[in-house]
Each structure stands twice: as structure tokens, then as C-alpha cells.
Structure 1
Amino acid sequence: MRNFALILVAGLLAATPGKAQVLSNKQQFTEADTLRGSLRPERDYDVLKYDLDVRVVPEERYISGSNKISLQAEADLPVIQVDLFQNMKVDSILFRGRRMEFKRRHNAVFIDLVPKMTKNTVDSIQFYYSGKPVVAKNAPWDGGFVFEQDEEGNPWIAVAVQGTGASLWYPNKDHQSDEPGEVSIGVAVPNNLMNVSNGRFVGKDILEDGYTRWNWKVESPINNYNVVVNIGNYVHFKDKFRNLDLDYYVLPYNLEKAKKQFEEVKFMMDCFYEKFGAYPFEKDGFKLIETPYLGMEHQSAVAYGNQYKMGYLGNDLSGTGIGLKWDFIIIHETGHEWFGNSITARDIADMWIHEGFTSYSEAVYIECRWGKEEALEYLQGIRAGIGNKRSIIGDYGVNSEGSGDMYHKGANLLNTIRSIYNNDELWWKTLKDYTETNRHKIIGTSTTEDFFNEAIAYDLQPVFDQYLRHTAIPELQVKKQGKQVLFRWKADVAGFDMPVDVLINGKEIRLHPTSEWQTLKQKVSNPEEIKVVNKEFYINRKNL
């Protein structure tokens, strides 16, 4: 049984990187990648608001509608780029009430603005479109619409597009560097169904053709891939945590299970408020929405498909048993509200800012409820899913994320940095300061590195460089030379320098290895007597 469990967990760990995004693992890039990933002159504008009005026809897997894009020009704009997948039809584009000419290249639409927008002016375009959007084969591991039926035969429809792109189903500036500060989402569906989207419900309109339009409004900056539809025969119940509204939308036959399972939200919020600061989107509330796929971090509308089981679909990704004490999807996907949704990476090459911190939030939750030792044991357990074959940071400007190691290696990097701090009070203060200082901001890796570096006298830059920009983790080498025991780091970063805690004769001692051999001051008869505190430092150890 133990061997079977290990095989099962290893398989789940291998799949884990897809749980919150689509990883392309590309090594070569095309013009389409550059058009999507770079900030070209045609994208030199700031999106202020999206106003979506969409109809979904379940039996035809068809959508149609429009997006009014309000924008401010950051330079003179004779042409602008708006993104929409090639398979979707552009019906018309209006600017100042007139139809505009456009050209399509890959998944980008280049619109000739007549007259051109001049720098600093504010205006809008109305983009009408229609078609059958890409259908996901296995969401959320690939992006697209999900057209399913619930157990009672009702249509059950959702969308998950992180990595693949929000332009899969609606026209937008599909780049993480630009978040609209406000989004209105109106989705018309057959009268027997409900649509749940991001933000607050602002009413519904009964249309004359058997459809009802459900209207939602987001009043906080939001990533394009977070804007969603969730269509089903939902029932709604609610709760409250402090001043935060908690709204839950589930299928009727799962109502009682949901009421019990979602009680965990309040334990989680209590922990995350303490460690990360207040929920970043209080104006928009917090929702869990039952979905026909596993889960996604859709802002203020978190997708939940963990089947009301503890762990990850009833399994423990750490192989320790600790992962079965809590609902993985509730904790992980809500952690993204702070890391990914509030703090957003400017380029998806820096997606570890989302995934590393959110994977670390799992251990933070464990520590809040069951103590530090169990949190450390969990972090050590998820190392089994780290490949160390590609760097965590991807290629910039070509819509390329880094290795899936951004999850578990990213979490263990943060835990290693906490151990370098060697001061938990300072660590928790710095982590909370980081989330609150960068609240609703779009940043890069350097901002994160500088923030955690400035809090202590020790220079963390070589540590960040080794774990984020190289594949291997540092190796502590130890050897006996005559009567002396010597130690040093082997790493890719020149002059690598990082403290590490070890046990010698039962006593914990901090060593300060560098890339040069040093002599151990403590008396030991052989290198085996030096035991690395493995739970706190993610490194390799080698006796020469």
C-alpha cells in the first residue's frame, strides 16, 4: 500500500503545475508569441475599463457579444492592437460611432483608428464578435470553455484560460501588465440557468427570447484571465468573515456538503489576514463557485471543483498525510487572491511570483492551524515533485512562463529564505509588508528580490539567482583532509554565499559556507557527523 501511495502521489505531483495555469514548456518562439508577449507600440495604451455583454448558447457551444474597451493613449495611436483568437469572428469595430478597418495577424487584431488617438486622450472602442470558442480537453490543464452537464442533466459551463489567454473568448489587451480598474460583465443564458461572474451581482434582465442576462461588476484591478463565466443550475448561500461577504454558488444536490466543507474558509481567512493582511478585494466580495473542473484562482470568484474532499481530490501531494487535513483547492486558489490577483507579475516569465508564494501559502495555513513542524514537514514532502531541469524564470517578452518548479521549488526557496532570516518575527513582518506594500500592483522579480533583501543585512541576491535562474540547487560539499573537515558550496552563481544550519553532536550550529573551502571549527571524526537541518534548507549535501 505504501509503494502504491507513493506512485499515486508522484503522478499527482507531476500534474500539479497545471492546476493553476497552462504550462507551454516552449523552447522556441514564434511571431504569434511575440505579438502576445511583447509591449509593442500598438499596445501603448492603458485599459481603464471593460464592459462585456455576451450571450452563451449552450447547445451550439457558441458565444456572441461585444466588449466596450475604455482606454487612455500613452502615445499617439494611429493603430492599436486588441487580441482575439483567430477562430473567433470579428463582426465589427466601432470608434466614435464609425466602423474601423482592421487587419488580423495570428491572434492579434490591428485596428486603424480614424482619427488617431493622441497621447493622454481617453476614448473607447466597441468590439463586436462571435463564434465557437476553443473547448478545453482537460481544464484547467489546457485552456478553454468547458461544456458539461450536471448530474440532473442541466448545462454546466465554465471557462479557464490562464496561460492560453483570455482572448480565447473575448477581445482584450491580453497582457498581464495592464489590468482594467473596473469591469462590467453581462452574460445572457437560458432562463433556467444562472451565470456567476466576478465582483458583485448588480441585477438581472429578463430578455424576450427565453434568455436572462446576469449582470456583475468588478471595482478592483483585475487580470484578464481572471474574468470568467460560470453557468449552471446554481443555488446560493452566504456567510461572513469580519466585514467580508462570503458567497457560495453550488449545485443543489451538493448544498449540504458545501455548507460543511466551506466552513474552512473562515479558518483560512483568519490565518491569511494575520500573515498577509486584509483580503485585497473586499469591495468585490469573496465567492467560491462549484465548477466542472478542478479549480482556478478567478478573482473574487474562485473556481472550486475538488468534489468536497480533503487534500487534492482526496490525495496528499506531500506524501506526509498532512495534506489530508485541509481542502487543497480552497486554500491554494484563495491564496492567489493575495499572490497573483493582488500582486501580479508584469510578464508571465515571472509567474513564480504567483505560484511560489501561493504554494508557500499552503504551508502558512498549515502552520496557523497545526504548527511549524507540520508546515516544514509538508514543504519537505512536496520536494518530491521538483524536477530541477529548467529554470523557474522564463523568457521575457514572448509569453513564456518558466518551469513548473515555480510551485514547489518556489515555496521551498521562500522557506529557505525564512531560515536564512533566522528571525520569525522579522520574517512574518516582512512577508506581510510585502503583500500590503504591493497590493494591487504589477511588479517584476527584481521588486520581490529587493524587498526581501532590504529587510536583512545579509545579501540574498546570490540565493535568488541560484534558485530562480539556474536549474540546480546549491550543493554543500564536505570532505575530510587529514585531521580537518572542510566545507564549501558548489553552485552556478560565482562566489555563491549562503548560511546553512547543521546539527553537530545534537547541537544546531550555523555555518557560513562560500565557494571556497573552509575549515570546520567543531571537532568531528568524519563528515557524516554533520547533519543538515533539511526541513529548513532546500539544498543538496555531498560528502567528497
Structure 2
Amino acid sequence: LRRGALCVGWAISLLLVAAATARLWLAGQQLPSGGPLRPRQAAIDVRRYELDLRLDPARRSLAGRAVTHLLTVAPLDAVELHLDDRLKVVAATVDGTAARFRHRRGLVSVELAAAWGPGERHAVELRYAGRPKVAAKPPWLDGLVWAETPSGAAWLGVTVQGDGADDWWPCKDHPSDEPDDGVAIALTLPSELVALSNGRKTGETVHADGTTTTRWEVGHPINNYLVTFNAGPYVPIEATYGGVDGDRAETIVFWAIPEHREQAARLWQEQGAAMLASYARRYGEYPYLDEKFHVAETPYLGMEHQTIVAYGADFENNEHGFDELLFHETAHEWWGNKVTARDWADFWLQEGFATYAVALHVLDSRGEAAYLDHMRGVTAGIRNRVPIVGGRDRVASEAYVGDIYAKGAAVLHTLRWELGAAALDEALRRFATDALPADGLVETADFERLVGEIAGRNLDWFWQRYLRRAAPPRWRLERTPTPPAREAITLAWDDPAFELALPIVVAGEARRVEMPGGHARFEVPAGTPIEVDPERRILAEPAASHRTGPSGSRVGGTPET
């Protein structure tokens, strides 16, 4: 017995050591992005980045020059930019003059010859090189992606939504500051590779050493994590997008690896332009037509890189007849790229809205029944372990929880029931167009105010329960006999401040039950069957003690016993 206990003790110890090792490994794979702004970073407004990068796939190395053009908004004695320690800064200049710097713990501090006052414009250049962080599990664990196509050709990319762009270039690593005047990107790679990046292609230079420099220009504000590059033996697949009004002829391109040319062509010709038109009808025209809409096949699942969406799925349609990964990532061109969370605490504004955009495409293309079926699949994945909006000044890895997708979409789905489809449609369109701040950066409170304006009433009870509490609302149904041969039906939420209307079906008749003060009461003939939300139009659960309730009731379409 003692020997068995000793073996069990050793096994438990080994499991604990393994768990601790796994946590340490995971911590080493995640860099903080966002969070509270450092005072020196809060003192600058980035206006533009200029990146000149040379990548060597054989050595998995990078050498770069990065210029940050900035405007001071407060007094400043040094400039601080983030850059992963795996990359080493070799020189710094301020307005063309060499400057002293220190690079430690992911932060580059550049000394100033004299302090700057508010309202000054300056340029800080850093030259750096090294072997950048390699993505352990892209796009969830970030870094550079050095892969090969099935034929053995180099196939490169990068994902940094969690880590931030300082995995591969020095920047102010915070979602609240997008470069107002865009980004210039020059990529030097082996000439046999096609090099792609954000924005418009502005030039290409072939060098005698077997490399080619490709230059790109982003004219719109862009969040740091959306800046990207793709490189491989790509072949272009073209389609024509007619615009939301059908009066344009814009070439849109899917860049496929040669082995997948046929699958990519079929996908792109059937779905590329129709997808853009579907979203444009709801949220306004595709926001970057003056640059491009391209998709690049990648050796990782996907990412919403601005104007060059990453796609790494299997060219397979879902049960509704479209490629869901492609539609989700493209929805981010509106929800994430045009409309961007100022604080990672509001991550759901990007992932939840993009997830719901796919659901609304199902509604538009397949009808209400298919939409409800799709949303039942979405909500099945909700965990309700933590609130989807938790505090302020969050780092990306803290805010990134699974429920920002499914529960975020379910919040909008429930809001559609509470307000009506027309009101929600108006809120989404206005949030993406005329109600959008000039810089495109938003917070949850901005959407709450807009919805309250459209609804003409205060919905704090809705937002507090769904966004800032983990547990979903729970309802209770009670039946009380009332002579002669009738029953009083009482419906109540677990919180009297929660006033969401309940969808019910009474003897086959659909009803909407308003819940002022969190409850409602009505009478029916004794034994009348009642179903509560059989179509799953809201995000809610029956109270625990009610889940096996009285005969003649149904909960969410599931018979009670």
C-alpha cells in the first residue's frame, strides 16, 4: 500500500512539474501588447511609420530600418518604443542626428539632446537585426512564420495580434495609436518569391544579388498588428467586384500557392465579390477600395490583415454554402480594421461583431430559419467563465478569451430580439459609418450610447448583465392553479433590474412577453403547453431549480420531465 501511495505521489508530482513547465513555456511565447500606457508613450502621437526590411528565409533572420514620425502631445525627455529583445538595435538617430539609446526588456529608450514640448514633430530612426521570435502556434502564439509549400518553396508570414508588432519592428505597441498618415513598407526577399504587404504596391527593384525589393504604401490609419507581409511562390487569382451599387469594376485578387490554384480559383470566382457586396450592403462600401482587397493563402489559419487578409483553411464550404473562415476574416475589414477597439478590453467589438456579420450573411443569403440554426451553433460554444468586457487597460492576451467571439455575437443576436431587426441594422451600419469617430478607434461605451439613442431608452441593465458579468441571465417559470380550470403563469428573471422581453410559445402561438421589473404574469387554461424561447432568440438559461419543471412546459425547445 505504501509503495502504491508513493507511486501516486510521484505521478502527481510529475504532473505538477509538467503543468508548471507548460505554464512557463506558454508565458515565454506571449509578449504583452497594450495595457496601461507608459507616460513617455502617452506623450507621443504616431503619425507615420516607414519600414525597410530584409528577410532571409534560409537563416530565418531579419535586418531592418524603422522610422517613426511622431507628434508630441506632452513634454518629453526620451522616446520609448517597443521591440522584442531577440532583435538587437545597432543604431538610432533623432531627426537625422545620431542618438544614444538603451534596449532592455523589450523597450528601446532613445535619449534626446534637449527636451521636447507639446506640438513638435520629429522622426526617430532605429536600425536593428537578428532572428525574430518564431510563431509557436500561429495565429494564437505569435511571431514570424517560416514554412514551406508542399513542393518545398519558402512560404513566409507573420501574426502578432497577441504579441503586438514589436515581434518584428519597433513601434508604440498599443491599439490606441494608429499612424494617421499610414505606413510605408519595403520588403527585400529572394527574387523567386512574391512579396506582399498592406496597401498599394508602389514599386519594385531587382538587385544583382538575387533579391528583389517590393515597396508598399498604406494611406489609411492601420493598427500595428494589422501590418503584415506574405512571401511565397504565389500565383494571382483575379475576380471583379462591382461595388455596393454595381457601378464599379475593381479587380480583387486571391494569392494562392501553385498547388492550390484550382481550389482558390473556384472559391474566389464564386464567393469573393459576392462576399464584399453582402457586407457593403449592411455596413457601407468596402473601406479600402482606393488601395485593394487581396487575400493571401498562408501556412496558418487566418488573420484580418488590412487589405491583405490571411487565409489558411481548406477551401471547404460550411452547411450554408460558403467558406466561413474567409467570410469571418473579411468581415474584420469593417469590424477590426475600419472600426478598431481603442483598448483590448473591448476586443469583443472586433471578434464578436465579425462573428455576427457571418450570421447576418446567413440571414441575407439563406433566410431566417437558417440564421437561427447558425446562431444555435454559435451559442453552443459559449463558456460564460469570465466577462467579455473586463476592466480597462487590458493586454491582448488577457482580453483574448473564446467568448469574445460566440458570446459577443450572441449579445448582438439578443439585442436584435429586444430592439427589433431594423433598429439593430441601423445601429451596426451607423457604428461603421457616420457614428464612427474620425480616427476609427472606439470603446464599448460608444456602441452603448448609439444603441441607446436609437432605442430611445436606457439599456444599462442589458449591457451590465451581458458584457460585464460572466453568468448569463436566468429565468424562472411558475404555474399556479387558479379556479376554474386555469393557471397563472409567472415569468421572472433572476435580477429584477433585468428587463429583457421573453419569447415564448403558448399552445403553438408565438408571443413576446415584456418583463418590466424583471417579471410578468398572465393566465392560461390549465395544462396549456408553454415553450420558452424554443428558437433560441436570446442568450439566457432556465434557473437551475427550473430545469426539470412541471409537466406541460418546454425550456428552450427541450421538453421538461
Partner of 1:4: none
- Give the C-alpha shift of residue 102 in structure 1: 2.4
Query: What amino acid is aligned across from residue 38 of structure 1 in structure 2?
Result: P
Residue 289 of structure 1 aligns with which residue?
A: 296
Q: Which residue does 1:260 correspond to in 2?
A: 266
Q: 1:525 to 1:134 in 2, by over 3 A?
A: farther
Q: Secondary structure at the match of 2:52?
A: strand
Aligned residue pairs: how many? 499
Q: Deviations over 1:77-131 (max 9, x none)?
A: 1112201012211111100222222233422222222223321111111111111
What pairs up with 1:117-132 in 2 under 5 angstroms?
Answer: 117-132=116-131
What SS does the aligned partner of 2:349 have?
Answer: helix
For 1:499 and 1:457, how far apart are their aligned partners in 2? 16
CA–CA separation in structure 1 for the residues paired with 2:472 and 2:165? 35
In the other structure, the counterpart of 2:491 is 487
Residue 240 of structure 1: how far off its partner (Å): 2.3
1:267 counterpart SS class: helix
User: Is 2:361 the partner of 1:355?
Assistant: no
Does the residue aligned with 1:453 lie in a helix, a strand or coil? helix
Distance 1:517-1:419 versus aligned 2 partners, 3 A rule: closer
Cross-structure match for 1:72? 71
Q: Quote how far apart the aligned CAs of 1:160 are.
A: 0.7
Matches for 1:137-216 after TM superposition, within 5 Å: 137-181=136-180, 182-216=182-216
2:251 equivalent among 245, 255, 259 = 245
Q: Summarize the Cα distance change of 1:516–1:287 in structure 2 as closer, same or farther, 3 Å threshold.
A: closer
CA shift digits 1:243-296 (9 cap, x unpaired): 443122111232222111112011111211111111111122100101111110
Number of the residue aligned with 1:9? none
Is 1:222–1:341's contact at 8 Å kept on the other side of the alignment? yes
Q: Tell me the amino acid that sits aligned with residue 259 of structure 1.
A: A
The residue aligned with 2:532 is 531
The one-letter code of the counterpart of 2:425 is W
RMSD of aligned alpha carbons: 2.0
Whose radius of gyration is greater, 1 or 2?
A: 2
The one-letter code of the counterpart of 2:324 is F
Per-residue CA shift, 1:287-318, capped at 9, x if unaligned?
A: 0101111110000000011132223xxxxxxx
Tell me, yes or no, if structure 1 residue 435 matches structure 2 residue 442. no
Aligned to 1:38: 36
Partner amino acid for 1:430? A
C-alpha displacement of 1:193: 1.1
Asked if the contact 1:238–1:245 (Cα under 8 Å) also holds between the matched residues in 2, the reply is yes
Amino acid in the other structure paired with 2:489: V
2:416 maps to amino acid: R
TM-superposed CA distance for 1:73, in Å, is 0.6
- The CA distance in 2 between the partners of 1:527 and 1:103, in whole Å, is 76
Distance 1:530 1:256, change over 3 A: closer
Paired residue secondary structure (1:257)? helix
Conserved 8 A contact 2:507-2:529? no
Shift of 1:515: 5.3
Unmatched tracts of structure 1, length 5 or more: 1-23, 312-320
Contact 1:391 / 1:402 at 8 angstroms: preserved in 2? no
> Partners in 1 of 2:195 and 2:422 — Cα distance?
44
The TM-score normalised by the length of structure 2 is 0.85
Paired with 1:209 and 1:157, the residues of 2 have a C-alpha distance of 20
**Corresponding position of 1:406:** 404
The residue identity in structure 1 corresponding to 2:107 is A
Question: Which stretch of structure 1 is more off in the superposition, 167-176 or 471-480?
Answer: 471-480
TM-score by length of 1: 0.88
505, 508, 521: which one pairs with 1:506?
508
Matches within 5 A, 1:515-526: 517-518=519-520, 520-525=521-526
- Provide the rounded CA distance (Å) in 1 between the counterparts of 2:443 and 2:345: 9
Counterpart in 2 of 1:449?
448
Tell me whether 1:307 sits opposite 2:317 in the alignment.
no
Identity over aligned pairs, percent: 30
- Unaligned 5+ segments in structure 2 are 1-22, 243-247, 483-487, 550-561
CA distance in 2, matches of 1:488, 1:527: 19
How far is 1:525 from its partner?
2.9
| Cα offsets for 1:113-156 (capped at 9, x unmatched) | 22233211111111111111111122112111111111221110
Select 1:382's aligned residue among 354, 364, 378: 378
Describe the shift of the 1:143–1:459 C-alpha distance in structure 2 as closer, same or farther (beyond 3 A). Answer: same
After alignment, is 369-378 or 479-488 more displaced?
A: 479-488
Contact 2:490 2:522 in 1 (8 A): no
Letter aligned with residue 367 of structure 1: L
Deviation at 1:347, TM superposition (A): 0.7
2:233 and 2:470 map into 1 onto residues whose CA distance is 47
**Contact 1:391–1:403, Cα closer than 8 Å, also in 2:** no
Amino acid at match of 2:64: G
Equivalent residue number for residue 228 of structure 2: 228
Distance 2:222 2:527 in 1: 57
**Is 95-104 or 271-280 further displaced after alignment?**
95-104
1:89–1:131 Cα contact (<8 Å) kept: yes
Between the two structures, name the one with larger relative contact order (CA 8 Å, sep ≥ 6): 1
Does structure 2 retain, via aligned residues, the 8 Å contact 1:36–1:108? no
